Amino acid sequence: MAHPTEKTKQLAVLILQAEASRLALTETHARFRRKLDVPARIKASISGAPSKWLRGALATGLATRFLFRPGKRKVAERAKKAKRQRGFLFGTLALLFTLSKPAMKIYASKLLRDYLSRRFTAGAQGRPMAVRKSPY
């Protein structure tokens, strides 16, 4: 066995320094990844102190409710003003539309039922679809 020379000692020292710096870089990288992983940090914070998060959420919800709710007087005034601006024609049309909704639903459901029955029966028998008939 040969005695270690000065060059081999320096080489060994350099190798040890490279390994130490590689280990330091790995630890720094892992620390940065933990700091930048916001969802995991939030999850850990919530599981660590759920009561604080619940109280904060309740306080935020209450504050938002009181900050952004409209005044009661404003809503009533707006409704009265809207009724006055609508007029007779719009009121009549709104009433007719409201009264005719059930009939329109029945008519639309019958059209859809007839269309689907024709589509599935024509496809199953291999013949072309029939001409559209009036549902009434």
> 53 and 45 in contact (C-beta within 8 Å)?
yes
For the residues 64-79, what does the mean pLDDT come to? 75
Q: What share of the chain is helix, strand, coil (3-state, %, to 5)?
A: 85, 0, 15
- Residue 1 confidence class, pLDDT cut points 50, 70, 90: very low
pLDDT score, position 113? 92
Instruction: Work out the mean pLDDT of the chain and round it to a whole number.
Output: 84
User: Would you state the pLDDT for residue 61?
Assistant: 92
Q: How does residue 2 score in pLDDT terms, banded at 50, 70 and 90?
A: low
List phi, psi (to 5°) of 3: -75, 145
Whole-number pLDDT of residue 128: 54
- For the chain, which residues make up each domain, given as ranges? 74-136
Task: State the Cα–Cα distance between residues 7 and 4, nearest whole angstrom.
Answer: 8
pLDDT tens string 11-58:
999 999 999 999 999 999 999 998 899 998 888 888 999 999 999 999
Reported as a pLDDT band with limits 50, 70 and 90, residue 77 is confident
How far is it, in rounded angstroms, from Cα 44 to Cα 50?
10
Q: Cα separation of 121 and 44, whole Å?
A: 58
Task: Give residue 92's pLDDT.
Answer: 86
Determine the straight-line distance between the first and last CA of the chain, rounded to whole angstroms: 109
The reported pLDDT for the residue numbered 125 is 59
The pTM for the full model equals 0.34
